[in-house]
Structure 1
Amino acid sequence: MSGFLIGDFILLSLGSSRVLDVRKCRTVDGADLILYPCKERSLDEGNRDGWNDNQVFFIDEQGSLIGKQSKSAVDIQDGQLVLDSLKPGKIYPKFSYVADTRHITVQLPASSASREGGQLYDSKIYVLTYYPKPNPRVAFADGSSLATALLPPYGSFVDHAAEETIEQQTPQDGEAEDDSLDWIRILKISGIESEDTVADAERLRRSWEVIPLRSA
């Protein structure tokens, strides 16, 4: 069992308050998936604009994640989530939802040699998450910091504090702030580690809610 609901649904990232989205409503092979603000308020399929179905998905009998608008499977190529039109005989990544942890897990197809032995999927399990996008910050000699988005234009703040030492801060990925006003977040898959080793911010980025659509 995949753990997903039967029928169409929206996947909400609890860490970003954005939903899974096929960028620019593209339907061609290789179209990339991102996180983007939800474009449609209604959960009633009869009242929704079909143009927004690039944010609607379902799970097929093989556990593949399918985009409603394109009817293509979600594949993983070079670490990126992309669309790939369903091809006879091709095995696509298997997606599952774990309600207890709110994780979306991913199993990749096994190697050709393993498939010849009857193993369809690799034994390693990944979890779906995304890269945080912080506002650029500057650090001062006294240890304080400020998001550059809050600085006055043309460097006037720096001019008035010329005696301060300013350097860019680059926090670790797991600890990075995710406060950029950019609407887009980039998805990735990560190996599952012990929860004790995962930062709180990253734990939230790995949390998802499956929101079902109501049939007309």
Structure 2
Amino acid sequence: MDYFTFLVALLHLHKDSFEIAVPSDSHVISKPGENITFMYELQTKDPMQQVTWEKIQSHQIDLLTRCNLSQGKISPSRFRRQILTNCSQGMRRSFILLPHVEASDSGLYRCCFKASTGENETFVVRLTVTDGKNDNQRVFWIIVGTALLLVFVLLIPIVIVLLYIRKRCRQKNIQDKESQATQNKASNNNRSSFSVSQPSDGAGEDIYVNYPTFSRRPKTRA
């Protein structure tokens, strides 16, 4: 595709960007090596003049195939990729077949029916060819994530049980300390009451004092 054709295709893309109706199945995901077929059937009954298939990329637009519906002839394309398509006079269904797709085939594909009156009918589909390495990495991370989730689920009950046991041990230690303190206090009180109630040596005993008794006789008067 020369530079002038590229500019025309680019302007045509912006012109038709408001007319593109994207169907619900506009995204196709494929693995490398598969055969991908894109098919579009004309919705209107108006006669069409030509149908084109293009691959739209960020830096360029590649013309895949162009079919003249009035003559049933295909115009040659410079696109290097092998593509199978149909072209017949007055046909209303067009398809392209991409054999053995690769990652480089990923992109946006557009089918455009053009009428002589200037009306267009457009179909757009996106193709994503996944890489086998990416799939393996995705599976690996899924397995790792599942394993971590299982470990997390198993650790939660274990942590809860350990915290509960630790809490019970603390409560038991506190109760033991309180019980021991109560016993010590009671023992000290008993000792104090015993010391107060017991008399000291010699206390409370009767003391007797012996002293001579002198008899007093009346004096005799002479």
Establish whether TM, by shorter chain, passes 0.5. no
Compare the two structures and name the one with the higher helix fraction: 2
Looking at secondary structure, tell me which structure has more strand per residue. 1
TM-score class, shorter-chain normalisation, is under 0.3
Larger radius of gyration: 2
Give the alignment's TM-score, normalised by structure 2: 0.20
